[in-house]
Amino acid sequence: SQECSRVLPVIEALRVEYPEVLISIDTFRANVARQAVAAGANMVNDVSGGNLDEAMFRTVADLGVPYVLMHMRGTPQTMNQLTQYENLVPDILQELARKLAVLRSLGVVDVIVDPGFGFAKTVAQNFELLAHLSKFSALNAPLLVGLSRKSLIWRSLSITPEASLNGTTVLNTLALQSGAKILRAHDVGAAVQAVKLWELTSQRN
């Protein structure tokens, strides 16, 4: 497939050049995930949370690699029309919990949960999700948060995505305070600094 022809050579080159680096394949296709892990990827990050390929959960179980379960509705093309929730945070928690149960029943041990900021959620819903992020601890899985340069920052501040580093750091810090264990970042150095300063503070609680 076109996706494989793009990513597999990159994974193979990275694995040779940086043997110690953890590589994550970002795909919602089970076949791509399988080939990427064979090429040297260490984990699978699926923005569809298994919605777009019913073989994904069983494939990840077979591969025995960590899996990032992200919350999204529909496809990247239709998700912006699927922002109707009866009760935002409980609905997202319920959808993730149901999939987590399936993954665990298949024997997937390492599941990382991503609440999916910016995916099938309005700007206001993203802020509501961030305000209640600590509730995701109920899932008993590490929490990954991707807020870097997202539209909730630059639309709210009337700036460009490129000018969103300060806003990203603010929201990353709030996410860390609410239990986030992994930050998805464009500006890695700034995110590392935020984590270090947060850890130095939290150790004193």
- Annotated catalytic residues are 150, 184
For residue 105 the two structure tokens come to 């029943």
List helix spans (H) across 40-131: 56-63, 88-105, 123-131
**Which residues are CB-neighbours of 200 under 8 A, at least 6 positions away?**
none
Provide Rg for the chain, Cα atoms.
17
CA dist 194 → 31, 57, 102, 159 (Å): 36, 33, 34, 22
Instruction: In whole angstroms, give the CA distance from residue 52 to residue 18.
Output: 31
